[in-house]
Structure 1
Amino acid sequence: MSRDNGMDRRRLLKLAGLSAAGLGLTAAGCGAGSGSGGTVTIRHSWWGADDRAKKVQQCVALFEKKHPKIKVKTDFQQYADFWKKFNTQAAGGNPPDVIQNAVTFLRKYEAKNVLLDLAPQAEKGNLGLDGFRAGLEKFAEIDGKLLGVPVGSNSMALVIDEDAFEKAGVTPKLGWTWDEWYAGLEKIRSTQKLAGDSGPHGVMYLYDMVLRQNGKAFFTEDGMGFSEAELLPYWTEALARVKDGVYADPKKIEQIKPALALAKGLSAGEFNWDNFSVRYGAEGKGRYGLAPVPSTDGKRTGQYLGSLMLSGTARTKHPAEVATFIGFMTQDPEVARIMGYDRGVPATTAQFEAYQPADAPDKAIAAYETEIADAGVLEPITPHPAGADVIEAAFLRIGTDLSLGRASPQDSVKQFFSEAETALASN
């Protein structure tokens, strides 16, 4: 498990160099109109919890103070609701000017001509691309277009209730295997009367790592990278663990959503992006830590660095102002001091150097990413074809229904591949 034992900040700057990585639309939208007094109003939308929303609002207030001629109207939703709303807005011709984005969505919306190519704005000097950590400025380049600018880096981790693990005598460590992890979950269940994990079977990015550990991947550049024969035993085993109580009660998890199961004491651990540890501390009362991802052979974890980004929409009426706002959010040192590691370790050197982690969650994120970088486990990100966002949502929904006993593993696997094939064919 990663501990707060300090870090070499210069060394962490090299993290992204190990992996330069990290979701039906018919019309692009238009931006907001100009305000009174010669001001321009743009709209910015993102997903996340209340804590992220408060921080973004602080950044927006600072931006408006420094750029009094540009006003920013804001909106945020939970992850799934965000994309539903964005799709509706874009199809209706009125999406936000700036959105939070992720690699899973780039090819989909590029194919629909929804995203703004930011390269011309960079050439005009409206968007600075200097000082990004080890090439992260190219993270969102697709077919010669710059479709987004990264705001941070993160990686998958096992988030744990440290007290529960310690009381059970379970010590996660680099190089531990899935068998050792599962034995630890059984020990937690028997000694703490607590489910060892929230149930990882619906987490696409975790299954991607499991596949990568075995020389495959969830996606190829244009399709699926695995078969029904590989998913069936994975989901069959997951359902058995739910019934055995090793994984948390899915019905209770559904009842507390959108809260996190681990934060609400329903399990001792769950797999998530490392920067989510900030949210656990905000939602829960426990002592949470980041533990290494188990592997098949004790060596290859299949991990990579991911990144949230900011993208403009193609029909915005104010591309220069959009670029100015994105540049501010990715370069201004004060933004880093406000956001911390909420969206990952800052992508630019200026912001990275500006934020000195002081609290335990942020120190743990820095230590964790340093640890996995030093271990040499980071690899290039898996390509995501158009339709990946629909497939990710299907994997989560069908995996959840499986855990709730609504369908057998066999039927769940067939349904997933049927929906995946449809999603790929329609993009």
Structure 2
Amino acid sequence: MGTSRNVERRTILKAAGASAAALGLAATAGCGGGTGSGDGTVTIRYSWWGAEERAQKINKTIALFEKKYPKIKVKTDFQTYASFWEKFQTQAAGGNPPDVFQNAVTFLRKYDKRGILLDLKSQVQAGNLSLDHFRAGVTKVGEVDGKQLGIPVGSNTMALVIDKKVYEKAGVEPHTGWTWDDYFKALKTIHDRTKVAGDTGYFTIMYLYDLYLRQNGKAFYTADGLGFDKADLTEWWTDGYNRVKAGLVTDLKVVQQDTPKSSLSAGHGASEFTWDNFTVRYSAEGDSTYGLAPIPTMDGKHTGQYLASLMLSASTRTAHPKEVAQFIDFMVHDPEVGKIMGYDRGILASTEQYTAYRPTDAVNKEIAQYEDDTAKAGVLGTITPHPSGADTIEAAFLRIGGDLGQGKTKVSDAVKQFFTESEAAFQA
């Protein structure tokens, strides 16, 4: 939770970034949130973002929870990504955030800084929540400065989604350990042999640039700022823009015209970097056959990859921390919940749920296999906790990179604008 070529994130990050900069949230603490009744029954509020299909699945899991815990009632609220965060900011500023809510790494430091997020370690120590039986490395995504601010429900990692038919026609075969030089040569081969752009716009994807930086001993973020300089970004964006001009990368005007479809699904590009569990969208949108390919490397080995995650967080203002912890524990560990949710929010994070759900369709089987292979390869590192303001910065990277790709601004001006907006986001 988190962002990439996901249409939902593409369309809402601007709104999320703008509203984040405009709204200062007061630090809050104390009691509030859920309600209680005379018979000992309590009600907790649970909010998340997503589409109707996710809501239907979550409502089924809540029915299971309320059957096991009849004295805990769950009041639900779901929105689109943009609407969720706009509403959440208003609720948090007013001292009335939901008791438990879906969260992503981009927002952990931001809302911890404002005193919104409950450190769940106290509930772990009280025996109401377990951090045992998670897939290796997953729980680290929810850790910030020694505090457990989120419990993962699913995980994913960056991958390259390819149009298999176009790659086969071009005679290009992605392989583990291929380099960036190999990948860029592949883009040219694909374009020359099929007249299709090889990529849909890699240079605008913050999380991909993070992997590239990590391969070179840096990272997109440090604990409190950017982990790269203007010269680094100038090189990255110059190379990207030159490939757009050469036709090797999809014209970003075409990318906009294809929205809400991906340009990969629309047949205007042969590959696209995104989170591995997003692969299902291409099969739903497009008419070709799509698959997952390895991330290019600098040295043939280190991809810079890590596990990201959607997670559940709790509010410091909840009046029912024990019940909230029990709810989170049930939602991340119960096998039946895993069977219901499947890979809707990524590859299931706990081993109980991961084992309980076995995908039967080809796309989800390939996603699971990709994550298994990536883990076995030993390339997964630890994600850098994002500093406060990361949501605004991600939006700026996508927007400014898009303007550059359309020729609306020069590389030097784009780089200067990005660093200026980033500094403002850190100080907000």
**Is TM (by shorter chain) over 0.5?**
yes
Deviates more, 1:38-47 or 1:171-180: 38-47
Cα deviation for residue 26 of structure 1 reads: 2.3
CA contact (8 A) 2:57 2:341 kept: yes
SS state of the match for residue 203, structure 2?
coil
Cα deviation for residue 28 of structure 1 reads: 4.4
Cα deviation for residue 35 of structure 1 reads: 7.3
Per the alignment, residue 193 of structure 2 pairs with: 191
Does residue 1:244 correspond to 2:241, yes or no?
A: no
Cα deviation for residue 258 of structure 1 reads: 4.3
Cα deviation for residue 45 of structure 1 reads: 2.4
| Percent of aligned pairs with the same amino acid | 60
Per the alignment, residue 124 of structure 2 pairs with: 122
Per the alignment, residue 392 of structure 1 pairs with: 394
Cα deviation for residue 406 of structure 1 reads: 2.4
Question: What is the TM-score of this pair, normalised by structure 2?
Answer: 0.86
Per the alignment, residue 7 of structure 1 pairs with: none
- Counterpart AA for 1:275: N
Per the alignment, residue 157 of structure 1 pairs with: 159
Per the alignment, residue 334 of structure 1 pairs with: 336
Per the alignment, do residues 188 and 43 of structure 1 end up closer, same or farther by CA in structure 2, a change over 3 Å counting?
farther
Partners of 1:36 and 1:194 in 2: CA distance: 66
Name which of 131, 134, 139 aligns with 1:132: 134
Alignment of 1:282-361 (within 5 A): 282-361=284-363
SS state of the match for residue 271, structure 1?
strand
Does residue 1:260 correspond to 2:258, yes or no?
A: no
Alignment of 1:58-97 (within 5 A): 58-97=60-99
- Counterpart AA for 1:288: Y
SS state of the match for residue 216, structure 1?
coil
Deviates more, 1:116-125 or 1:204-213: 116-125
Partners of 1:198 and 1:232 in 2: CA distance: 20
Does residue 1:25 correspond to 2:28, yes or no?
A: no
Per the alignment, do residues 80 and 397 of structure 1 end up closer, same or farther by CA in structure 2, a change over 3 Å counting?
farther
CA contact (8 A) 1:276 1:342 kept: no
1:111-131, Cα deviation, whole Å (9 max, x unpaired): 110111222223333223332
Partners of 1:249 and 1:284 in 2: CA distance: 19
Cα deviation for residue 418 of structure 1 reads: 0.8
Gaps in structure 2 of 5+ consecutive residues: 1-19
- Counterpart AA for 2:266: K
CA contact (8 A) 2:306 2:382 kept: yes
Per the alignment, do residues 167 and 28 of structure 1 end up closer, same or farther by CA in structure 2, a change over 3 Å counting?
farther
- Counterpart AA for 1:308: L
Cα deviation for residue 136 of structure 1 reads: 3.8
Per the alignment, do residues 36 and 359 of structure 1 end up closer, same or farther by CA in structure 2, a change over 3 Å counting?
farther
Cα deviation for residue 107 of structure 1 reads: 1.7
CA contact (8 A) 1:154 1:344 kept: yes
Cα deviation for residue 49 of structure 1 reads: 4.4
Per the alignment, residue 381 of structure 1 pairs with: 383
1:191-224, Cα deviation, whole Å (9 max, x unpaired): 3332221101221110011111111111122221
SS state of the match for residue 330, structure 1?
helix
Partners of 1:71 and 1:257 in 2: CA distance: 40
Per the alignment, do residues 282 and 327 of structure 1 end up closer, same or farther by CA in structure 2, a change over 3 Å counting?
farther
CA contact (8 A) 1:28 1:95 kept: no
Per the alignment, residue 174 of structure 2 pairs with: 172
- Counterpart AA for 2:220: F
CA contact (8 A) 2:141 2:308 kept: no
Per the alignment, do residues 320 and 364 of structure 1 end up closer, same or farther by CA in structure 2, a change over 3 Å counting?
same
- Counterpart AA for 1:161: D
Per the alignment, do residues 413 and 308 of structure 1 end up closer, same or farther by CA in structure 2, a change over 3 Å counting?
same
Name which of 406, 409, 412 aligns with 1:410: 412
Gaps in structure 1 of 5+ consecutive residues: 1-22
SS state of the match for residue 309, structure 2?
coil
Name which of 137, 146, 149 aligns with 1:147: 149
CA contact (8 A) 1:336 1:346 kept: yes
CA contact (8 A) 1:202 1:395 kept: yes
Question: What is the TM-score of this pair, normalised by structure 1?
Answer: 0.86
Partners of 2:77 and 2:201 in 1: CA distance: 31
Deviates more, 1:114-123 or 1:415-424: 114-123
- Counterpart AA for 1:85: K
Per the alignment, residue 5 of structure 1 pairs with: none
- Counterpart AA for 2:112: E
Partners of 2:157 and 2:91 in 1: CA distance: 31
Per the alignment, do residues 138 and 247 of structure 1 end up closer, same or farther by CA in structure 2, a change over 3 Å counting?
closer
Per the alignment, do residues 190 and 344 of structure 1 end up closer, same or farther by CA in structure 2, a change over 3 Å counting?
same
Cα deviation for residue 41 of structure 1 reads: 3.2
Per the alignment, residue 18 of structure 1 pairs with: none
SS state of the match for residue 159, structure 2?
strand
Cα deviation for residue 37 of structure 1 reads: 7.4
Cα deviation for residue 173 of structure 1 reads: 0.7
Per the alignment, do residues 77 and 173 of structure 1 end up closer, same or farther by CA in structure 2, a change over 3 Å counting?
farther
1:232-288, Cα deviation, whole Å (9 max, x unpaired): 121122222223332223233334444433233332211111111133333434322
Per the alignment, do residues 96 and 243 of structure 1 end up closer, same or farther by CA in structure 2, a change over 3 Å counting?
farther
- Counterpart AA for 1:360: A
Partners of 1:332 and 1:284 in 2: CA distance: 34
SS state of the match for residue 43, structure 2?
strand
Q: CA RMSD in A?
A: 2.5
Partners of 1:51 and 1:403 in 2: CA distance: 34
Partners of 1:237 and 1:47 in 2: CA distance: 35
Partners of 1:85 and 1:261 in 2: CA distance: 31
1:38-89, Cα deviation, whole Å (9 max, x unpaired): 6433332223444434432332333334334333333334444432332222
Per the alignment, do residues 319 and 196 of structure 1 end up closer, same or farther by CA in structure 2, a change over 3 Å counting?
same
Partners of 2:49 and 2:361 in 1: CA distance: 24
- Counterpart AA for 1:25: L
CA contact (8 A) 1:147 1:311 kept: yes
Partners of 2:265 and 2:355 in 1: CA distance: 30
